[in-house]
Each structure stands twice: as C-alpha cells, then as structure tokens.
C-alpha cells in the first residue's frame, strides 16, 4: 500500500531541500520499483532522512581525469550512472542508507555515457557501477546493487584499509 506522497515529501523536505525531487523520482518509478517504496518508507521511519545529505546527490557536470582519481588519498566511492537510468534511481535509497554510516568517506557521482573517458578507463558497462577505492586504487566494485548491507560492507572494507602500506594490500 505504501505511504501517501504528501507524507514522503514532508519527511524529506524537512531533512533536505533537495529531498522533494529525490522522492518524486522514486514515486514516479514506483510501478517498476515497487519494493523500493517500502524500503524508502522504512528508511524514513527509522530516521534515515536526516542522513540524506551525507551522500552526493548530483552527478558531476565535469568528470575528473583518471590521473586525479589515481592520486586520491584514503577511501573513496566512485558511482557511475545516469540521471535517466531507472536502476540508478532505484539504487539511491540503499546507497544513501549505506553512506549514512560513513559520513567522512568521499563519494564522487559521475554521469557516465558513450565516449566518457573515466567510465571507459574503469571498464564500466552497466549502471550503476560502484567502484570502491583506497588511495586511488580499486579494491572492489558492485554493479547494479540495491542491497544496503552489501554496499555498507564494501564501504567498511575500504575504510579499514586506511593506514595500510598501499591501501589495497589486503585485497
């Protein structure tokens, strides 16, 4: 059955000014991703809405160069996707939930597409692709994951590598 649109809008609007648009996208996709609406309702009821801003919600207009990514220090998450991708929109709730437990982790959201060099350098073929980095080196990746626990485990893994010799030695 779900929760009324107005309740969803009010819950997230009070948490973040951009929350209203975020929820409208999920309401619009409710037919294709009905189970995500129940997940969203649970997430809001458990207080997840107040953590919404820990996640980068906007795709980068200009993607960074691969050399810049390779020089990153510490843990980072690259999210390759597209604002028009239904899978990408459906993954936002579990991704936000997982990122809420890792507020200091760098999240770089990259609009990918044909001819985009960064996505090709990481051999991205499907969206969303989450690439988990430690000190600029890929540790693991998830493709089309909508499981907050799986995403959270990968985030914890890259955070645990901070302080190791090369950040990727325990892969």
We report the CATH number of the domain holding residue 158 as 3.40.30.10
Q: Are residues 42 and 70 in the same domain?
A: no
Q: Residue 161: what pLDDT?
A: 92
Q: What is the pLDDT along the chain (171 residues), one digit of tens a residue?
A: 444 443 343 333 333 333 333 333 333 333 343 455 555 555 555 554 444 436 888 999 799 999 999 999 999 999 999 999 999 999 999 999 999 999 989 999 999 999 999 999 999 999 999 999 999 999 999 999 999 999 999 999 999 998 665 454 444
Q: Are residues 35 and 65 in the same domain?
A: no
Q: Residue 61: what pLDDT?
A: 79
Q: Are residues 46 and 68 in the same domain?
A: no
Q: Are residues 50 and 85 in the same domain?
A: no
Instruction: Yes or no: say if 118 and 35 are a contact pair by the CB < 8 Å rule.
Output: no
Pairing of strands 75-81, 106-111: parallel
Q: Residue 52: what pLDDT?
A: 41
Q: Are residues 131 and 49 in the same domain?
A: no
Which residues constitute the domain of residue 71?
A: 58-164
Q: Rounded to a whole number, what is the largest CA-CA distance in the chain?
A: 51
Q: Residue 162: what pLDDT?
A: 81
pTM (two decimals): 0.67
Q: Are residues 7 and 75 in the same domain?
A: no
Q: Are residues 96 and 13 in the same domain?
A: no
How far is residue 38's CA from residue 2's CA, in Å, rounded to a whole number? Answer: 6
Q: Residue 157: what pLDDT?
A: 97
Q: Residue 54: what pLDDT?
A: 60
As to burial, measured by CB atoms within 10 angstroms (0-12 exposed, 13-18 middle, 19+ buried), residue 123 is: exposed
Q: Are residues 99 and 150 in the same domain?
A: yes
Q: With respect to residue 171, please indicate whether it lies within any of the assigned structural domains.
A: no
Q: How many domains does the chain have?
A: 2
């Amino acid at each position: 059955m779900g929760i009324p649109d107005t309740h969803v809008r009010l819950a997230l609007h009070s948490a973040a000014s951009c929350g209203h648009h975020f929820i409208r996208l999920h309401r619009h996709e409710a037919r294709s991703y009905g189970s995500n609406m129940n997940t969203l309702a649970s997430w809001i009821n458990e207080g997840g809405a107040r953590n919404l801003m820990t996640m980068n919600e906007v795709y980068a207009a200009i993607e960074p160069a691969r050399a810049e990514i390779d020089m990153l220090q510490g843990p980072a998450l690259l999210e390759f996707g597209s604002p028009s991708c239904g899978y990408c929109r459906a993954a936002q709730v579990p991704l936000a939930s997982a990122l809420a437990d890792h507020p200091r982790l760098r999240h770089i959201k990259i609009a990918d597409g044909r001819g985009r060099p960064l996505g090709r350098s990481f051999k991205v073929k499907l969206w969303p692709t989450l690439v988990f980095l430690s000190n600029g080196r890929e540790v693991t990746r998830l493709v089309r994951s909508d499981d907050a626990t799986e995403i959270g485990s990968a985030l914890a893994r890259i955070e645990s590598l901070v302080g190791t010799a090369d950040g990727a030695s325990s892969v």
